[in-house]
Chain A
Amino acid sequence: MKDFWSFLLQTLTVSSAAVLVLAAKALFKDKISPRWQFCSWGLVALALLLPAGFSGGYALINWPLLVETAKSILTGEYGTLTKVVAPVPLPVFQSGKNVFDWVYIIYVAGVVCFLIRYAILYLRLRLALRRVKKESAWRGFICEKTEDNEQIGQSGIVKYQQDKNSLVMGNGEQTLRRAQEFVDAVAEKYGLSSCMVLEVEGLASAFICGVFRPVLVLPKGVGTDEKIILHELLHLKYHDVLWGLIICFFRCLHWCNPLIWICAELAGNDLESLCDQRVLERLSGEQRRDYGRILLDMAGGKYAKMPGTSSIANGGKNIRRRIMAIALFKKYPSGMGLVFTCILILFSLPFLVGTKPETALGEESLLLDQDVSVMARARLIRCTTCAGAFDTYAKAVLTGNIPYLAMCAPLGEQNLLAEAYQKDLELGSLEKMALPAPADLLGGYMIYNLTEKEENVWEGFLVLKLSDSLCGKDMREKNEAWFAMQYVRAEKQQDRFVVIPKEEFTSFQADEWILRCPNGEEALPAWCYEDEAEDFVLRLRWQTAASVESQGLDKNGNWLIFDPTPQPDGVFSFYSGYRLSATYTGDPKEKDRYTQVGHVGHVVWDRTKETEDSLRTIVPEGVFGLGKEEPDRSGRELGHGTFSSAGTDGNSWGSSPLKTGWEDEIVFGKGGGGSISLQLPDCYMVELYLNNRLHAKFTLELLEGSWDYGR
């Protein structure tokens, strides 16, 4: 916790765990034994120990939204996200900038004060006990555990039985020795370990003090029952003083949360009830009733609580609750351990795994929420994938929606976006966000030529279709349309991907299918492969594209349409495509001798994995039709990723006729389809056939500098 807001988030998260435990305890109050009653506080401890939202989500209730909204309303700050880095307050070295910084300083001071107060109380008690110990040692009262003493212990238990089940203190030097013997005897009787005993005058009840060198402190001059000693020794055995200290520590951490005080009180009482249960498990018949009577006698009294101690007497009200628990001791259904373990596992899930935060900012939430809440909600939605960030950005541009943009914008820009949203400005009024014309929402988008620049940094061209109204009749007839293009970058900042536009939108006209699949479109940048042989230069333009599948049903549930709701967790579907052309570079007078042209090509993804033979013999079987145009295919092998010119039937290989005076550039065709990755081919092997004879073999290599966009 570094500031007021992170403390607020942490304490609210802990409160939700506390409410869950209190509700479950209320539901199962007569069904859960004290052992499980105490175990259930482990859930609150879990929430106290884990920083709120450490798993990326929230626990049970969407407190982050509430905290962010409150922060934005009260401070006007949108550019930060509240994050709890540690479940304890971290020191603040800077002076308070606003009132909430001062509130946090007061909170930290409160924690320190409480810790010091409890530490002083404990130290004073230890010092007082040390004085008592020194006095006793001076008088030679303290006895070390020896074989003789063990024998004394045996006799002590006999003595205690004679004294009607209680240690009767007398005056004189022997009392402390007898007390030690008595405690040792009780410990031995119940198979427990003993500890040093001290007597203090004016004590209301016995208690255990200290974790590492525990001392059992008994009231001086008052008879202490064996069962009380047993209770305290059980505290010792199960390290209840340590549990008490942990509870005390948590109370200090959340000193201003009354719910935590209530829980600490109840947890302390459950600890005592658990100890009562352990005592009762070791007693039988009349002894149990006696134990109940001892507690009843204490019910009316007032007992001071000290940190680092554990006492049977923990206040009249609490004792009454414990007596109720004792009354139910035998009535709890037995053998319920398994189901309570299952329930605790289930309850701990929201705190361990976290509840998935909102991943969509649908139209409904935009309509229902207030401005501040919408922007808080938007910046809380993390784009967890690069694809999700690009998708969110593209849909923000398509819909002109500022909250969508806030989902994928860097935190530094959130204040600007919030201001624009509150002033009801259009998205286009923001820098680099103006489209040349309204976008065609149903046209969707594509990220062209996506490239990984470094780890978690990707760049590519966002391509959107512009409104159909811009297209003239000619364009429609040619199946062309207007598009907008922008070079954008997605990078990981902290735990979220953000999108940064690198330039303004530019418009261009192109084949309207480019938003379905790339095809080497010339208006868009591409990777170029080239080779020259004989009197031809072969050129191939390679493009990749990616988009998150966004097809949804229309309102009637019938048609698949583009769904403009961002998918911040989205994953890309990849596409790739090419355009192959040959340019004649020979003597123009001689070109008419070529009347037929055809080709066969093969993509080489990784030339290190291909043998020389497979590189040389690229033409696959099966792609050729029968007939005169069939090229020589002796010794050819089946190859993957082969492309070729098609014959007249569209299926078999064939060549195309060349008209007299044909253009220097022959476009063989363009095409593309789904792809499994964005990998660039190593090279292309192409055989050019002229007049149905092999004319030349080409190895098209990636041209250096053909792709230097954004560098």
Chain B
Amino acid sequence: MEDKGVRYHGLSYAALGYIFININFHIGRIQLLPDFVGYLFLLCAISILFQERRDLLLLRPLCIILMVIGIINWILAFAGEGVGGHIMFFDLLVTAVTLYFYFQFLTDIAALAQTCPKCGKKMAVRLRFCRTVCTLLNTVIAVVSFMFWNVRLEDGRIYARGFRYLLLLIGLMVAITTLVIIVTLFGLRKRFRNMEKEVEIGNIT
């Protein structure tokens, strides 16, 4: 009984975290759904779900790092600045942390989904697929962005235009995949809640 509550609440936080991180509304320079709030939700999700998946605890320090970067970015955004794009060394490490964090997080959530008796396996497969696609696409984005800024070609303008369209296309694909992840997380949450109710009714009767 308690286990099911843990999953429901954990997945709620995870879904909210994903929404805050991936959906952005701006009023001027103010980000209405700040990333750091999303990481705070994910941190809550990790703190709850680690009872089910011990590996999730490994992500806690990485989540804190990403949250701190999110806070700094949110504050710097008021001055039209950001922490990225200044020191490549730092950018590479942050990209690595981000890639790893989402990959392991979704791997663990997929493992959790597998325990759901109804459609659990199907959702796990979907989550793993989205995880792999997202990781590959985000890597391609990082590689293409790097090439965009650093490769010197004599007719650089033409390539730059090509890169821009490619990035736009990949970005669109990432957005769709992220949307599928969010929907799946909410769907999984619902399944666990129904499971809880069924168990409760079973207990009463």
Q: In the complex, which residues of chain B have a beta carbon less than 8 angstroms from the beta carbon of A56?
A: 152
CB < 8 Å: which of B55, B138, B152 contacts A384? B152
Which A residues lie within 8 Å of B152 (CB)?
56-57, 356, 359, 384, 569
Bound-state Cα–Cα, A24 to B95, Å: 11
Residues 426-443 of chain A, each 1 if its beta carbon lies under 8 Å from chain B, else 0: 000000000000000000
**Of B62, B107, B139, B155, the contact of A27 (CB 8 Å cutoff):** B62
CB nearest neighbor in A for B55: A333
Q: How far is the CB of B103 from chain A (nearest CB, A)?
A: 4
Say how far A496's CB is from chain B's closest CB, in angstroms.
12
Could you tell me how many residues of chain A have their Cβ less than 8 Å away from some Cβ of chain B? 36
Asked whether B150 lies within 8 Å of A57 as measured between CB atoms, the reply is: yes
In the complex where A27-B62, A335-B107, A338-B103 touch, is A354 in contact with B150 (Cβ < 8 A)?
yes
User: How many Cβ-Cβ contacts under 8 Å join chain A to chain B?
Assistant: 98
Known A333-B58, A336-B104; judge A343-B96 contact (CB<8 A): yes
Closest to A349 in B: B146
Q: How far is the CA of A57 from the CA of B146 in the complex (A)?
A: 13
Is B30 an interface residue, CB under 8 A from the partner?
Answer: no
In the complex the two chains form, is B58's CB within 8 Å of A353's CB? no
Chain B positions 118-166 with a Cβ under 8 Å from a chain A Cβ = 132, 135-136, 138-139, 142-143, 146-147, 149-152, 154-157
A23 in the interface (beta carbon within 8 A)? yes
B151 touches A347 (CB 8 A): no
Q: Is A560 an interface residue (CB 8 A)?
A: no
Contact A24 B135 (CB under 8 A): no
Interface 1/0 per residue, B95-110 and A, CB below 8 Å:
1110110011001100
Choice from A16, A335, A347 contacting B96 with Cβ under 8 Å = A347
Hey, which chain B residues are within 8 Å of A338, CB to CB? 103, 132, 135-136
- Known A-B contacts A16-B89, A338-B132, A349-B143; the reply to A385 vs B154 at CB < 8 A is yes
Beta-carbon contact of A28 and B100 below 8 Å: yes
B49 smallest CB distance to A (angstroms): 14
Q: Specify which chain A residues have a CB less than 8 angstroms from the CB of B142 in the assembled complex.
A: 346
Q: Which residues of A are found within 8 Å of B97, using beta-carbon distances?
A: 27
**Chain B residues in 8 Å Cβ range of A359:** 152
Evaluate contact between B150 and A346: CB separation under 8 angstroms.
no
Q: Cβ of A20 and Cβ of B146 under 8 Å apart? A: no
Task: Give A336 to B59 CA distance when docked, in angstroms.
Answer: 13
A56–B151 Cα distance when bound, in Å, is 9
B150, A342: Cβ atoms under 8 Å? no
> Which residues of A have CB within 8 Å of B143?
345-346, 349
A contacts, CB < 8 Å to B:
16, 19-20, 23-24, 27-28, 30-31, 56-57, 60-61, 331, 333, 335-336, 338-340, 342-343, 345-347, 349-350, 353-356, 359, 384-385, 569, 571
Interface residues of B (CB under 8 A from A): 54-55, 58, 62, 65, 88-89, 92-93, 95-97, 99-100, 103-104, 107-108, 132, 135-136, 138-139, 142-143, 146-147, 149-152, 154-157
Sampled A-B contacts (10; CB under 8 Å)? A28-B96, A60-B92, A339-B103, A339-B104, A340-B100, A342-B136, A342-B138, A346-B142, A347-B92, A571-B154
